Structure 1
């Protein structure tokens, strides 16, 4: 007589090896679903650029307080930012030989935390977000200086675009069409 191993009250003839195989396949399936690396879904923004890194990248000067944009370069794996910081703007708080320390805002659930990260200089560049403001400051200083010499008042605040002035619209011989919604018709 051959003895059979029972598993969890094996009354329907299900062998324990079948259940073990089933559990093994479930385990492998869950591993495939929930196993991913740090660089998953990053092929779009960590794509390799052809050729060597331009030397201008290494000639840029970064100082404390500079505003920089973080953009990961796939050809340089050292000092790479995490994918959550790609495309973010931060402020330099520390400068070392090959890298800089940056303070970046990161949303964690309902909070925005100021995170300090270290990134190599290949993955950052100076931000142009403040250029238009600095240009406007210089223009306003020039306007104030000219107005002071003339003894007049000058408007320095930006004004919204005014409404368009009255003008004629030519139809070139075509009759204008009246656009209106179709009247509602109750269908019972």
Structure 2
């Protein structure tokens, strides 16, 4: 029987949180607002599965292009190919310096 190669396979180190980090999911992460054209870092919060991008995009930086419901559409380049990801604000962090 073959092993499963699901969405979160080979992501044990990426998808772990620090033990006793404090409050695990502050409400301010959900309530973040971004403007069109903002640069954001994709940092996956493993305890929230909804609106989570694929682990290959963890640590990448993209630009907000649109809003879709509660989520944002982030465009970035993966190699030479332009991609658009639909990500909830729990997994995004605003880039402060440019």
Question: What TM-score comes out, normalization by structure 1 length?
Answer: 0.46
| Structure with the larger strand share | 2
CA distance in 2, matches of 1:96, 1:87: 22
The runs of at least 4 aligned residues of structure 1 exceeding 6 Å deviation read: none
CA distance in 1, matches of 2:42, 2:32: 14
Q: CA RMSD in A?
A: 1.8
The number of equivalent residue pairs is 95
User: Which is bigger in relative contact order (C-alpha 8 A, separation at least 6)?
Assistant: 2
Match of 1:95 in 2: 67
Match of 1:113 in 2: 81
Local SS of the residue matching 1:45: coil
Structure 1: unaligned runs, 5 residues or longer: 1-27, 131-188
Matched, 1:40 2:9: yes
Local SS of the residue matching 2:66: strand
Local SS of the residue matching 2:30: helix
Q: For residues 14-163 of structure 1, what are the structure 2 equivalents within 5 Å? A: 28=1, 31-32=2-3, 35-48=4-17, 51-107=23-79, 112-130=80-98
Cα deviation for residue 44 of structure 1 reads 1.3
Question: What TM-score comes out, normalization by structure 2 length?
Answer: 0.84
Larger Rg: 1
